[in-house]
Structure formats: C-alpha cells, structure tokens
Amino acid sequence: MNNQKFDLDQIRAVIKIASESEDIAELEVESPTLKVSVKKVAGAVRATATSNPGGHGPAETMQVTIPAAPPQPARGAAAAPGLAAAPADQLVPITAPMVGTFYRATNPDAPPFVAEGDAIEPGQTVCIIEAMKLFNEIQSEVRGRVVRILVENGAPVEFGQPLFLVDTAAS
C-alpha cells in the first residue's frame, strides 16, 4: 500500500461498486492490510475502512457516509425563514477539499462560521475540516446566500462531498 495506512483508491473503488449496483446492499472486502465494509443505508452509502485489520501493530479505522443526493425539503415543508426557493441552476455547492471531520465553528461553545440564510463572500471562512490533527479553514469561492448546510457538525466528510448549497443570485 505504498506506506499509506489507507489506500483511498481501493476504498473509492469498493464504494463505487456498491453504490452503483442495485443488487448490492452490503459489501465487505478484505486484504492483509485493509478491510473495507460498505452498507447502503437510508439513501446513503456508509463505508468503514480498517488498516492492518489482522496484522501487527495498531489498526486504524476510518468511517465515511456519502449521501446519495443532497437532501431535499419535504413537499409542503416551509423553507428556512427569509429564504426563497432558488432555481437549481443558481445553487452552487461548496465541497470538501479533503477527507476529514467537518466542524461549523472553532470550538463547541463558539458561534458557527455561517448559518442557513447568511450572506457570504469569496474568501470568507465557512467551516473547518480536521484532517490528521490539523484544522483547515475552508473558504467560500463564491458570493451568495447559504441555502442549505448538508453536513452535521462533527460528521466525517469525503473529498468532493458537498458541504453547503449557496444561492449565487442572492447577495
């Protein structure tokens, strides 16, 4: 595995096989250095990868949940106060630039960087992703209004996973 604890290409391949198949609800693949378990649950794919599952030394585990599609409001459900429904072509996702843990604020007692309905500017910090004990500030690349926060605070995120939906027509 080229001295890496997790081979992300192998993990992505297993997740892709499970998520693209209509017949597979659960898939487990194991090698001497890596064990990947993938389950389809409630419109998402949940993957658990363990490095060095039966080997010597400490094993490490990584869990990832990938939503099948961004959550849609229920029919008849009211939008957040002050938010109008935006056409889909105006909605731009802010995505995770890395694998890690998503945090909306610098610490549990601090206010979140942004909330649904907030106006944001390019370069504005919208969240933090912790990866390998490093806290990385994630900045917006667009101007607009946060329409939806797609990830729960403290949840693991995958590279490229949408974190926020921003209405670029509203500013």
CATH class of 88-167: mainly beta
CA nearest to 68, candidates 94, 87, 91, 40 = 40
pTM attached to this predicted model: 0.52
For residues 129 and 8, give the distance between their C-alpha atoms in angstroms, rounded to a whole number. Answer: 18
DSSP 97-157: SSSEEEESSSSTTSPPS--TT-EE-TT-EEEEEEETTEEEEEE-SS-EEEEEE-S-TT-EE
pLDDT at 157 over 70: yes
Within its chain, how far is the Cα of 13 from the centroid?
A: 17
For residues 125 and 137, give the distance between their C-alpha atoms in angstroms, rounded to a whole number. Answer: 6
How much of the chain exceeds pLDDT 70, in percent?
67
**Contact between 50 and 71 (Cβ < 8 Å):** no
Q: What is the DSSP letter of 43?
A: T
Q: Where are the alpha helices (DSSP H) in the chain?
A: 8-20
**Contact between 34 and 1 (Cβ < 8 Å):** yes
User: Domain extents for the chain?
Assistant: 8-67, 88-167
pLDDT at 107 over 80: yes
E-assigned strand segments in 88-133: 91-95, 100-103, 119-120, 125-131
Using one digit for the tens of pLDDT, what is the confidence trace for 9-57? 677 777 777 777 666 777 777 777 777 777 776 666 777 777 766 666 6
